Amino acid sequence: FRVRQRSEWWPLLAYGQSYNRQYGTGVPANGDFNASHVPDQVNLVHDASIAWQLAKWRLQYRFNQSDQDNRQPGRERADLTAAVNGLSLGVMPHANVDLSIDASDERQWNRELDQTARVRRVGGTVTWRATRLTTLTAFGATSVSSDDPSTNDAENTEMRFEFARGFDLWR
């Protein structure tokens, strides 16, 4: 749009779609297989995001929807659909430090079992570029998952620490 003033307020928009078809050509001979063992599945995934990048701040909203359609005999209802909403907020308080927090809400529908599951996650990252070639990163997240008939509840916490050191081969 050739915006020259206040261009940082214009968001970056992204969209992607993936279509994948997996299928077998028939039942193997001389085996203990039947038609329900031969894969026939279609996967469709939509990804969309909107992001703003200011001088020190960044904000992003992400949406993902996936659909798995099983078509093999006897498995026609073994379909799965998922939708994820995510939000990220980041700030660079100093030239060599990045802080960010991420949150997401995912819902999964299993048509065969008529069951809905939900996963809620929140996490944060701290990155410190100690030198031009040295980076330290700390990441932590926790997630809570549950299903609609309330038969499964789970919590998961993960932490990761990374040290990266680059080196120059030539000056």
pLDDT along the chain (171 residues), means of 10: 72 96 86 84 96 93 96 88 97 96 96 91 97 96 88 92 92 70
pLDDT tens for each residue of 71-91: 888 888 889 999 999 999 999
Q: pTM of the predicted model, to two decimals?
A: 0.79
| High-pLDDT (> 90) share of the chain, % | 66
Residue 1: the pLDDT is: 61
Mean pLDDT score of the chain:
91
Q: Is 24 helix (H, G, I), strand (E, B) or coil?
A: coil
C-beta contacts of 104-108 below 8 A and 24+ residues apart: 104/62, 106/82, 107/82, 107/83, 108/80, 108/81, 108/82
Check if the beta carbon of residue 132 is closer than 8 Å to that of residue 159. no
Q: Are strands 80-94 and 115-131 parallel, antiparallel or unpaired?
A: unpaired
DSSP letters of 60-91?
EEEEEEEEEEE-STT-TT--EEEEEEEEEEEE
Q: Is 8 helix (H, G, I), strand (E, B) or coil?
A: helix
Q: What is the CA radius of gyration of the chain?
A: 22
